[in-house]
Amino acid sequence: MKQAFVAARYLVSLVAVSVAFTLVCFAQQAAGGQAQGGQQAAPAVEWPADSVGLLVAEWTRAKNWTKEYLDKMPEDGLGHKATPEVRSFAEQMIHLASANFNYATRGAGLTNPHQGKNLMTMDEFKTKAGLTKLVMESYDFMIGGIKAMNADKLKEKIQGRGMTLTREATIRNGFEHQTHHRGQTTIYLRMKGVVPPPEPFQ
C-alpha cells in the first residue's frame, strides 16, 4: 500500500511539472515572439530554394560580412601583418578579391576585368577606400555572373585545376576560398584591438 502511495505521488509530481512546462511554452507563444524591450522580433527570412537564388543569397551575405571587416579595420591597419612572412590585411583582401574574379570567370564564364594586372602592386588599392571598392567589385562580379545563369548552366562541367567540375562546384569552391581568407583576417583585427564583426544570419 505504501509503495502504491509513493508511486501515485510521483506520478502527480510528473503531471504537475508537465503542466507547468506546457503553460510556460504557451505563454511564450502568446507573447508573439516579442524581443526584449517589448519590440516585435524580426521574422525569420526564408532563403531561396532554387540553386541560383541560393547562391546569390549566400554570396550577398558573404559580401556584406566582408564589408564589415573592411569597415572595422582602421586605415593604419591595412599594412599590418600577423608575422613578417605572411600577407598584410590589405594583401589578404586583395588576394580574396583576385580569387573572386577568377572563380567567377571560370564558374560563370565571364571575362575578368582585371586580367593580366598585378593587383597587389597597384597604388589605388593601398587606401581603405580603394581596397574596399575593389573587394566589393569582386563580389558584385560574382553575384552578377550567378544571376545571369540558370540551373542547367550551373550543372555544366568545366575543366579546372586538373579536374572536371560543374560550374556550381567551381563557384562553391570560390565561396570556400573567400570564407577562408576573410577568416584569416580575424586575427589582424584582434591584434589592432578591434572586435571582429559577428557572423550575420542573412
φ/ψ (deg, to 5) at 49: -90, -25
Please tell me the predicted confidence (pLDDT) of residue 147.
98
pLDDT exceeds 80 at position 7: no
pLDDT exceeds 80 at position 116: yes
Q: Are residues 145 and 183 in the same domain?
A: yes
46 is a domain residue: no
The pLDDT-based confidence of 161 (bands split at 50, 70, 90) is confident
The pLDDT-based confidence of 10 (bands split at 50, 70, 90) is very low
> What distances in angstroms separate CA 148 from CA 54, 59, 140, 141, 171, one per listed residue?
14, 14, 12, 11, 13
Q: Are residues 29 and 70 in the same domain?
A: no
| Residue 147: domain span | 51-191
Q: Are residues 129 and 154 in the same domain?
A: yes
| Host H or E run for residue 199 | none
Q: Are residues 170 and 121 in the same domain?
A: yes
The pLDDT-based confidence of 24 (bands split at 50, 70, 90) is very low
Please tell me the predicted confidence (pLDDT) of residue 53.
95
Provide mean pLDDT across the span 20-30. Answer: 37
75 is a domain residue: yes
Q: Under a CB-based contact definition with an 8 Å cutoff, are residues 98 and 114 in contact?
A: yes
Q: Are residues 11 and 72 in the same domain?
A: no
Q: Of residues 71 and 163, which shows the higher confidence score? A: 71
Q: Are residues 105 and 163 in the same domain?
A: yes
Please tell me the predicted confidence (pLDDT) of residue 39.
59
The pLDDT-based confidence of 17 (bands split at 50, 70, 90) is very low
Q: Under a CB-based contact definition with an 8 Å cutoff, are residues 171 and 107 in contact?
A: yes
Please tell me the predicted confidence (pLDDT) of residue 22.
36
Q: Are residues 68 and 145 in the same domain?
A: yes
Q: Of residues 16 and 195, which shows the higher confidence score? A: 195
Q: Using one digit for the tens of pLDDT, what is the confidence trace for 33-57?
A: 444 455 566 666 777 779 999 999 9
- What CATH number should be reported for the domain holding residue 104? 1.20.120.450
The number of residues making up the chain comes to: 202
Please tell me the predicted confidence (pLDDT) of residue 99.
97
pTM: 0.77
The pLDDT-based confidence of 5 (bands split at 50, 70, 90) is very low
Q: Are residues 95 and 27 in the same domain?
A: no
Q: Are residues 111 and 150 in the same domain?
A: yes
Domain count, the chain: 2
Q: Are residues 74 and 154 in the same domain?
A: yes
